[in-house]
A = this chain, B = another copy of it.
Amino acid sequence: MKDFVDLPVQEMLSAIRSGDRVSLARAITLTESKRPDHRKKAIDLLTAAYPFSGNSMRIGITGSPGAGKSTFIEALGMFPPLSQKQIGVLAVDPSSRMSKGSILGDKTRMQQLSRMPNVFIRPSASGNHLGGVAAATRESIILLEAAGFNTILVETVGVGQSETDVYDITDIFLLLLIPGAGDELQGIKRGIMEMADGILINKSDGSNQERAQLAKVEVERAVHLFQAKPSGLPTWVLNISATTGLGLDTVWQQIEHYFQETTASGYLQSRRTEQREKWFREALHDGLLQIITSHPQYTELLSNALRDVVSGQTLPPTAISTLMANIRLA
């Protein structure tokens, strides 16, 4: 069999658009490769796929470890109204860079969902991607959309700035909390709550019910104090249970309502426009770094400058100022 990466770009794209999952998976792997020839091919493929992208609901989901994100995604994905949808599940997990285990790497998770014919689950990007995990996920979204997926769930474990990353690549941002039991240690930063379009208090079942109601009241009180969101829509707070299915219908209604309203108001488009600009600026940064570090003359200048900075001999801005004075554009 001819290797996927050796196919002409148009054949790659046809295979992906025809619904071939193996080709889709290989295309995503191709975008994650750092090899210059792979990278070039990946960009050609993404360029060809781009006109077919954009037609999905990009839904970001965060929450502390133990909040039940995977269970929630599985429950939402199996929820009847979604069986008509083509669902892609991606993860942004910066911790996997340090090979501490990735969110979706564990094959025992989302077992039911992964067997559905309308679902494609992609474990966390390897972090090998030149532009980092966020850029890798953005490219995966383009490929998934070109393959016909119209509901993209992007999960993050919430390490470092991964929530901000996910916010920057999705249309709507959901935060999962659990009631009671060490609220102080659930550790959700206020800034994350402020970014959330919907806050879901998961595990609001059984003996948790009372605490869950209290948590809802508390969260609602906090949400009232926040500034109005740029979407113009209020943040909704719901008691749900991914295991019993409680509240999933309302979650889905709210998501659909959000997309209707933000499409009508133009906010959805302006948010995506901003995201494209941000993506551009990040890619520009990586591109410039690439150019300079791959230029033989500057490689040495750079490593000498870094050595002097690390030893404490030269102040970083001084070193950079000297370096920049030596760099000439043709």
A interface vs B, CB < 8 Å?
40, 43, 46-47, 50, 54, 64-65, 131, 135, 138-139, 142, 158-161, 164, 177, 182-193, 215, 218-219, 222, 272-273, 276-277, 279-280, 282-292, 295, 297-298, 302, 305-306, 309-310, 312, 314-321, 323-324, 327-330
Assess A324 versus B285: contact at CB under 8 Å? Given A280-B306, A315-B46.
no
Residues of B within 8 A of A222 (CB): 182, 185
Q: Is the CB of A310 within 8 A of B215?
A: no
Partner of A43, one of B280, B292, B317: B317
Minimum CB–CB distance for A165 against chain B, Å: 11
Q: Is the CB of B188 within 8 A of A327?
A: no
Complexed CA–CA distance, A309 and B131 (Å)? 17
Partner of A50, one of B54, B215, B284, B315: B315
Q: Is the CB of B298 within 8 A of A289?
A: no
Q: Is the CB of A288 within 8 A of B277?
A: no
Complexed CA–CA distance, A244 and B246 (Å)? 48
Which chain B residue shows the least CB distance to A283?
A: B320
Complexed CA–CA distance, A305 and B281 (Å)? 11
Closest 6 CB pairs of A and B: A328-B330, A183-B184, A187-B190, A279-B316, A283-B320, A288-B288
Q: Is the CB of A305 within 8 A of B280?
A: yes
Residues of B within 8 A of A321 (CB): 40, 43, 287
Minimum CB–CB distance for A298 against chain B, Å: 7
Q: Is the CB of A276 within 8 A of B328?
A: no
Which chain B residue shows the least CB distance to A139?
A: B317
* Selected A-B contacts with CB under 8 Å, 13 pairs: A43-B321, A138-B316, A158-B191, A160-B164, A160-B191, A177-B184, A184-B219, A185-B190, A186-B190, A273-B312, A277-B306, A284-B320, A284-B323
Which chain B residue shows the least CB distance to A193?
A: B187
Complexed CA–CA distance, A199 and B320 (Å)? 36
Residues of B within 8 A of A177 (CB): 184
Complexed CA–CA distance, A302 and B281 (Å)? 10
Which chain B residue shows the least CB distance to A39?
A: B321
Complexed CA–CA distance, A277 and B40 (Å)? 30
Residues of B within 8 A of A160 (CB): 164, 191
Residues of B within 8 A of A315 (CB): 46-47, 50, 142
Minimum CB–CB distance for A142 against chain B, Å: 7
Complexed CA–CA distance, A277 and B320 (Å)? 12
Residues of B within 8 A of A190 (CB): 64-65, 158, 185-187
